[in-house]
Amino acid sequence: MTTYYSEEHEWISIEGETGTIGITEYAQNALGDIVFIEVPEVGNNYDKGDEIAVVESVKAASEIYTPVGGEVIAINESLESDPALVNAHPETDGWFYKISISDKDELDELMNAAAYKAYIDGLE
Amino acid sequence: MMNKQGRPTDINTAASLSPESFTTHTGNRGLEQDELLIYEIGDTQRTGVDLEDLPVFESRLCGITRDNEIGLAGLSEPEALRHYTRLSRKNYAIDMGLYPLGSCTMKHNPRINEKVARLPGLADIHPLQPISTVQGALELMDRLAHWLKTLTGMPAVAMSPKAGAHGELCGLMAIRAALDKRGENRTIVLAPESAHGTNPATAALCGYKVKSIPANKAGRVDLRALKDALGPDVAAIMLTNPNTCGLFERDIIDIADAVHAAGGYFYCDGANFNAIVGKVRPGDLGVDAMHINLHKTFSTPHGGGGPGAGPVVLSEALAPFAPVPYVVHGEDGFALVEHVTGGGDSFGRMTAFHGQMGMNIRALAFMMSHGSDGLARVAEDSVLNANYVMASLQDIMTLSFEGPCMHECLFDDRFLEGTGVTTLDFAKAMIDEGYHPMTMYFPLVVHGAMLIEPTESESKQSVDQFIGALRHLVAQAKSGNSALFTGAPYLAPLKRLDETLAARNPVLRWRKED
């Protein structure tokens, strides 16, 4: 299972044709206590870069842009009642949605773990 | 203990003693009284009004009469009055002290405005009265419109929008109407990263896609990035000037020219017009539409104190698309154009009536009591005060962008690095010092933003005291006294509230205990 990262601080882990997407530890830390998450509907199609979800924290509301295009095949239903999951486990239990990737070439534009770490170090 | 003037008027001595020795039977602490919800105070056995018993009558409600108790709490008049007076004492208001909420322009509301707005000839009229009986009110609107056009150098103004964001909607609807008339289907609205959140929201509401323009290192729109983003798809740019970092957009004329050359319109968010009123006319800068927050620039009460008003000035190109109703000079005096007549280009109507009359009155009173020279002084003094605050704090707080600033100055949280104190904690500690906090975490372009707008209302003595309080807090934070901040406010009627819990589990409804 390979994980990629976007400059907007989303992660996507790949299993076959399916990508699981969430926000990174860096993103949850920057957002602060998350109070509400709007996830997409299963069955909807999105292009890479489309606004797909919204995260509201005590500090700000932020849009989530999907790092790859495709059809949403599952959402994390726990987030509705327990948005704090994203603060506690952003890169595991706090996943947002699963997408059936339409074009795996889009992954090439994302970063691997080492490149993402260097990227956020540069932001400090 | 003595106060700062050496008089024995110590505030809150009890706070220095153990709380246990001051446990009171009522839960009140001297003049700081505990307050219940109004439903918890009242009951159904009491009332503040003495209604006559109804004579026997035949109900014509055909069986839909209520058969259960409503259960609304009744209170006597003094109880109701005391409840709201006690609540108001827990509040902070511009009438109590400096209110440095950046971008909100919490300036003094002169009492002459209130006096004029309460004149029966203005306060007791109704929008549906015959036009012949409200000639004075229409003249007042016409005169206010005249001065708004004069101050902005624009040929037309729509008076009906009821707030800043409503004005934005008016402006973008005029732009869309103009583009429709040209037969063009442009889909994108540009907005800088630092824009007020209402700008992208307005554009989205009008069906546009929003594209964000980055800022340059000086905190202003990156002209090159803007020019790259322009094209045949761009309907308009929405830009605030001075911008939300409190900086004047120096390239504004180049920006306007570039947008016009690409066939788009220039919407200026006039929220910060108070910094340039009487000094700069937006019409001279190439603006096509701009709302004016009467409640900011012209001091009408807002922020819980009253409704706003957001008249929109329009350029020659957009004037034909202005909404109805508007005041015209007719044969028999003033008249209101209420309908779009055949062939007219007006995009229609935004409000039931003609706008926020009470705010119109107060704004005109503010203008006339200041005069044109006084309005220029408003801009000068608000800019002077903000620069004084900036200059007095920039050695110990971290200024986000190099000054001079306009009417507000922007700091970020770099100066708190390593102290364990966040912008939020710092703001809460200001409450203990007796101040409403500044705007925090906005604009989003800097980390842990603190945006301070003192306004022209404050004297040097008042601003000096504020600066002194901030310098004291910064020194405390840097000396390691983080507890002063992380638990603040200590001295407010309510202590640190759990914002996260409140947002995750809001309790919005009171229920009677069985």
Would you say B382 and B275 are in contact if contact means Cβ atoms under 8 Å apart? yes
pLDDT in tens, B418-461: 999 999 999 999 999 999 999 999 998 899 999 999 999 999 99
- Give residue for tokens 């020194």: B475
pTM of the model: 0.88
Q: State yes or no: pLDDT of B462 exceeds 90.
A: yes
Chain A within 8 Å of B499 (Cβ-Cβ)? Answer: yes
Nearest CA in chain A to B197: A61
Interchain CB distance below 8 Å, B441 and A60:
yes
Q: State yes or no: pLDDT of B379 exceeds 90.
A: yes
Nearest CA in chain A to B440: A59
pLDDT in tens, B246-302: 999 999 999 999 999 999 999 999 999 999 999 999 999 999 999 999 999 999 988
Q: Output the six-digit token pair for B379.
A: 């801009």
The mean pLDDT value for A17-45 works out to 93
Maximum distance among all alpha carbons in chain B?
80
Chain A within 8 Å of B36 (Cβ-Cβ)? Answer: no
3-state secondary structure (DSSP) of residue B303: coil
pLDDT in tens, B201-213: 999 999 999 999 9
Buried b vs exposed e over B479-498: b needs ≥16 C-beta within 10 Å? eeebebbeebbeebeeeeee
Q: Residue B388 burial (CB < 10 Å; 0-12/13-18/19+)? A: middle
The mean pLDDT value for B87-105 works out to 92
Q: What is the DSSP string of A26-91?
A: HHHHHH-SEEEEEPPPTT-EE-TT-EEEEEEESS-EEEEE-SS-EEEEEE-THHHH-THHHHH-TT
Q: At what angle do helices B357-393 and B460-478 cross, to 10 degrees?
A: 50
Chain A within 8 Å of B25 (Cβ-Cβ)? Answer: no
Buried b vs exposed e over B139-166: b needs ≥16 C-beta within 10 Å? ebbeebbebbbebbebebbbbbbbbbbb
Residue B128's pLDDT is: 93
Q: State yes or no: pLDDT of B1 exceeds 80.
A: no
Q: Output the six-digit token pair for B95.
A: 């009438």
Phi then psi dihedrals of residue B368, to 5 deg:
-75, -30
What percentage of residues in chain A have a pLDDT greater than 70?
99
Nearest CA in chain A to B424: A59
3-state secondary structure (DSSP) of residue B11: coil
Percentage helix, strand, coil, to 5, in chain B? 40, 10, 50
Residue B44's pLDDT is: 84
Nearest CA in chain B to A36: B504
Interchain CB distance below 8 Å, B503 and A60:
no
**What's the whole-number average pLDDT of chain A?**
93
Q: Residue B45 burial (CB < 10 Å; 0-12/13-18/19+)? A: exposed
From chain A, pick out residues whose CB is under 8 angstroms from the CB of B444: 60
Q: What span, in angstroms and rounded, lies between the C-alpha atoms of B123 and B126?
A: 9
Cross-chain CB nearest to A35 (options B441, B444, B504): B504
Higher pLDDT, B306 or A68: A68
From chain A, pick out residues whose CB is under 8 angstroms from the CB of B441: 59-60
Would you say B330 and B342 are in contact if contact means Cβ atoms under 8 Å apart? no
DSSP letter, residue B43: B
- The CB-side HSE value for B471 (13 A sphere, CA atoms) comes to 13
Q: What span, in angstroms and rounded, lies between the C-alpha atoms of B139 and B121?
A: 13
From chain A, pick out residues whose CB is under 8 angstroms from the CB of B504: 35-36, 83-84
From chain A, pick out residues whose CB is under 8 angstroms from the CB of B500: 33, 35, 58
Interchain CB distance below 8 Å, A60 and B444:
yes
Q: State yes or no: pLDDT of A49 exceeds 60.
A: yes
A-interface mutation test, from B412, B414, B446, B500, most A Cβ less than 10 A away: B500
From chain B, pick out residues whose CB is under 8 angstroms from the CB of A56: 503
Q: State yes or no: pLDDT of B217 exceeds 70.
A: yes
Interchain CB distance below 8 Å, B503 and A36:
yes
ipTM: 0.73
Higher pLDDT, B188 or A59: B188
pLDDT in tens, B124-145: 999 999 999 999 999 999 999 9
Q: How distant is the Cα of B510 from the closest Cα of chain A, in angstroms?
A: 22
pLDDT in tens, B159-180: 999 999 999 999 999 999 999 9
Residues present in chain A in total? 124
- Give residue for tokens 């594209």: B211
- How many CB atoms are located within 10 Å of the residue B341 CB? 8
The mean pLDDT value for A57-61 works out to 82
